[in-house]
Structure 1
Amino acid sequence: MNDESTIQHETLTRRDALKYGTTAVGGGLFAGCSELVGQDEDERTGSSGTGTYSVTMSPAGEITLEQPPENVLTILPHHADMALAAGHGDAVSSMLYNPEYNDTIWNKFLERLPGVSVDWADLPGTWDPDKELLYELDSDLHLADPAYMTNMQSWTREDIAEIGENVAPWFGNTLSNANKEPPEEWADQYEYYTLWEIFEKVAQVFGAEERYTALTAVRSSLLERIDERRPSTAERPSTAVIQPFQGSFWVYHLNEPGFLYSHTRPLGAIDAFADALGDSGQIGGQVDYETLLEQDPDVLLVTGMMGQSGIEEVRNTLTDDPVGRQLTAVETDRVYAGGVRNQGPILNLFQLEMTAKQLYPDVFGEWPTYTDGPYPEIPVEEQLFDRQEVAAIITGDR
């Protein structure tokens, strides 16, 4: 990688409004809580332009702003989903991980939210970019986990600090997806959050606390309905989250900490591979057909299939295999297109509803047979949350 540390770039007026502390990124300690200095959205974004507010989240530390960012870089889609939920989807102007794929998946869900969509397919960005690309993108905010950036081969902590100082601050948390161990140089300052705790902080960055509060109320109501009606433990199905891979399968945890599981953990189904995977810190493991049959889950959730084609091919592959066709889930037609793991709050609402219906159809209503296309239309009386309400919260029409 070329060393761009000596390049001098003009500071733009827009960035003058994004003053930030780089305590954590620079290697020191960080505050452990969020603190809003400004009192409300009007004060922060008013015509005077003098209101300031600060938000703190591990591992980046505290950032202080005078107005919400208008030009945001993301890596994974959970942060982009949060910006959208905060009413600032248009601020997402670059994405380092597969924007075309994420655009396709998200719009398949957003089809059910009137007036809400994303336009990510042609966003600039590439995995493991050169530093110069981030200079060229000239973002107001890097809505990304700086510790996660060091997973990329070309990036060091010094590079991250340079971009944070010369371009824009970092602000994001990704390793909370499975409470993964951070790189050694970040270990003393890394804190884990739930999906909705991260969203709360991102909403504060965008001055969208009211949207956060309203969407949290929708989620709380959904979870209450699940808790009230969910069958007892003895009546819950054994379940495996799988992904086909070269004639075998990756299997993943179901109920572990982290936002990868925020659409399955609240349902409390029996994890068919909990003992086999153990607590090694790995998010999953590889198994063959015979091992899958040994556990013989009642339900198979094929991860990442919702919103794209391929689930029929998986079903046919299982049926055509002499071992696979013996699986209980295959015999009872309970092989479902599973959800997106790196989800944000919007997809989390849909995927909680979807998983509830897949696991407990007798309680929450049958999940429609799905092959491809948008999130299925669910009769209003069988919906677990109000689409119109969620759309109105996001668009500001509520």
Structure 2
Amino acid sequence: MTDERTPPTRRDTLRYGGAVTAGLGLAGCSDVADQSATPTGTGAYSATIEPVGTVEFDSVPETWLAMTAGWADMGIALGQDPPAGLTTTSRYHTHHYEDIPGVSVDRSDILQLYDAGIDKELFYEQNVDLHVFDPNFLTNRVENLGRADIDELAEKVAPFFGNTVFSRNYGWHDGYRYYTMYEAFEKLADVFQEQARYEAFASLHEAVRTDLQNRLPPVDDCPSVATVMVVSEEPEVFYPFRIEQGTGWKQWRDLGVSDAFEESDVETFTAARASIGYEKLLDVDPDYLMLYGYESLSATEFQQTFLSFFEDHDVASELTAVQNGNVHRAGGFYQGPIINLSLTERAASQLYADEFGGEQLYDRERVADIVTGTFDR
């Protein structure tokens, strides 16, 4: 591949603004990143996000790649077609759309980029209008992509626009700001020029969140939760996660739970690739044990698989969560506004069954109207 290669993209209408000609490695550009989409002298509009900076657009991107399922979910919420590819499609839990009329995504139509081999050539082959990626994620997590490659792809294929919002445990992210889920969602709405859809979701989310928090018990009465990943249906090893500020743990924070690992010496899988066994889990002894990794199982299948195994296990059977039947699916790490509403509702029923059990906490028809564009703008 040579520098003369110029794929037939919409480069004349999608380009980086002159204010960010220093490249994509900007850190601490908060004065720029807090701007919303604004008209510019050289393009129809612009959008800004750290660490990328300001990107100018003469037309709305039509095709795109997404870093995670959280960004994909944001795009769906904004009425867009699904991304052409995701780093890991298996973590895009599209079953959360099943009870929303007129909203569905066939995950098999989305390319799993990790399987295809993420490199510069792959981005050329996909030839989309927009890369919703934090470029620093790629340069720090993909061996064969460097800063020069990102700059070349931004110039010759399509701009990058993203931030690693799902976790705040990456050391390389310390130099620039994180965004909350709805801050990131608003940034993407600027790109797709769907501010009205964003505002409608933000209003719905705030109403749901306010109702939840008005009905939660006092802080001292909220349960402790241990979130862990397992890779076997008869696990002997657990990969622990803290309930942190990243978007992947939003439902737990909104539901007022305490992190069972908070006062322990347990290191996280995200930061240190750490693992623990049953004895350490018993030392922590959470009120609820939430497992990542088996979202494809129904609630009944999950209980029959994991709770039954734990109840028959010499050590696991001593856990308070096991004895009380409080072992559940944790959901996914990657959440946008639709998936978050679904996971929050499910977690509320799991944790506070007497108050929320079986209750629909958000209006499916309202979500459908926003996604399909039939709501009052």
Sort the TM-score into its range (normalised by shorter chain).
0.7 to 0.9
Residue 102 of structure 1: how far off its partner (Å) = 4.0
Question: For residues 342 and 283 of structure 1, do their structure 2 counterparts lie closer, same or farther at Cα, with a shift above 3 Å needed?
Answer: farther
**Residues 302 and 337, structure 1, Cα contact 8 Å, conserved in 2:** yes
RMSD value, Cα: 2.4
* Conserved? CA contact 1:34–1:54, under 8 Å: no
Q: 1:384 aligns with which of 342, 361, 367?
A: 361
Task: Say whether 1:122 aligns with 2:109.
Answer: yes
Letter in 1 for 2:106: D
Structure 1 stretch displaced more, 30-39 or 319-328: 30-39
Q: Which residue of 1 aligns with 2:347?
A: 355
For residue 16 of structure 1, the aligned residue among 12, 15, 20 is 12
**Aligned position for 2:166:** 177
Measure the CA separation in 2 of the matches of 1:58 and 1:300: 35
CA distance in 2, matches of 1:168, 1:131: 12
Residue 331 (structure 1) aligned with residue 308 (structure 2): no
State yes or no: 1:239 paired with 2:230.
no
1:25 aligned to 20, 23, 43, which one? Answer: 23
Report deviation, 1:187.
5.5
- Asked whether the 8 Å contact 1:241–1:251 carries over to 2, the reply is yes
The aligned amino acid for 1:94 is G
Give 1:1-398 correspondences, 5 Å limit: 4-12=1-9, 14-21=10-17, 22-23=20-21, 25-27=23-25, 30=29, 31-38=32-39, 52-90=44-82, 92-97=83-88, 99=89, 101-102=90-91, 105-106=93-94, 108-127=95-114, 128-150=117-139, 151-174=141-164, 176-183=165-172, 188=175, 190-245=176-231, 247-254=236-243, 256-277=244-265, 282=271, 285-308=274-297, 311=302, 312-365=304-357, 378=358, 382-398=359-375
Deviation at 1:130, TM superposition (A): 2.7
Any unmatched runs of 5+ in structure 1?
Answer: 40-49, 366-377
Q: Tell me if the contact between 1:239 and 1:300 (Cα under 8 Å) persists in the aligned partners.
A: yes
- Following superposition, the deviation at residue 279 of structure 1 comes to 8.4
Aligned partner of 1:46 in structure 2 is: none
Residues in 2 aligned to 1:292 and 1:278: alpha-carbon distance in whole angstroms: 10
Give the CA deviation at 1:24: 5.8
Distance in 1, matches of 2:236 and 2:26, equals 48
Shift of 1:38: 4.1
Deviation at 1:230, TM superposition (A): 0.6
Deviates more, 1:340-349 or 1:120-129: 120-129
Check whether the contact 1:24–1:59 (CA below 8 A) recurs between aligned residues: no
Inter-partner Cα distance in structure 2 for 1:327 and 1:145: 40
Q: What SS class does the counterpart of residue 129 from structure 1 fall into?
A: coil
The number of equivalent residue pairs is: 359
Give the 3-state SS of the residue equivalent to 1:202 in structure 2. Answer: helix
Cα distance 1:125–1:330, how it changes in 2: closer, same or farther (>3 A)? Answer: closer
1:15-56 CA distances to partner (integer Å, 9 max, x unpaired)? Answer: 3221223536344574232332249xxxxxxxxxx9711110
- Tell me the distance in 2 between the aligned counterparts of 1:34 and 1:277: 40
Whole-angstrom CA distance in 2 between matches of 1:226 and 1:361:
13
Deviation per residue, 1:93-147 (Å, 9 max, x gap): 22232x2x245x21x1100111001123132343242311211211100011111
Cα deviation 1:237-256 (Å, max 9, x = unaligned)? 121112235512122112x2
CA gap 1:284/1:117 in 2 versus in 1, 3 angstroms: same
Measure the CA separation in 2 of the matches of 1:125 and 1:355.
Answer: 28
Deviation at 1:361, TM superposition (A): 1.3
Alpha carbons of 1:124 and 1:233: their partners in 2 closer, same or farther (altered >3 Å)? Answer: closer
Q: Is the 8 A contact 1:241 1:303 kept in 2?
A: yes
Identify if the C-alpha distance between structure 1 residues 125 and 267 changes in structure 2 by more than 3 Å, giving closer, same or farther: closer
| CA distance 1:336–1:217, change in 2 (3 Å) | same
Between 158-167 and 129-138, the greater mean CA deviation after superposition:
129-138
CA distance in 2, matches of 1:388, 1:65: 32
- The structure-2 alpha-carbon separation of the partners of 1:248 and 1:278, relative to structure 1 and needing over 3 Å to count, comes to closer
| C-alpha distance in 2 between matches for 1:73 and 1:137 | 8
- The answer on whether the counterparts of 1:73 and 1:139 sit within 8 Å (CA) in structure 2 is yes
From the superposition, tell whether residues 314 and 320 of structure 1 become closer, same or farther in structure 2 (CA, over 3 Å): same
Equivalent residues of 1:23, 1:61 under 8 A apart:
no
Q: In the alignment, is the contact (CA less than 8 A) between 2:25 and 2:51 conserved in 1? A: no
1:177-232 CA distance string (max 9 Å, x none): 2223453xx764x2111011001000111111011000011110111011111101
Aligned equivalents of 1:277, 1:260: Cα separation in 2: 22
8 Å CA contact retained: 2:7, 2:127: no
C-alpha contact (below 8 Å) 2:26/2:53 kept by paired residues: no
Q: Is the 8 A contact 1:86 1:208 kept in 2?
A: yes
Does structure 1 conserve the Cα–Cα contact (< 8 Å) formed by 2:48 and 2:54? yes
Change (3 A) 1:394 1:221: same
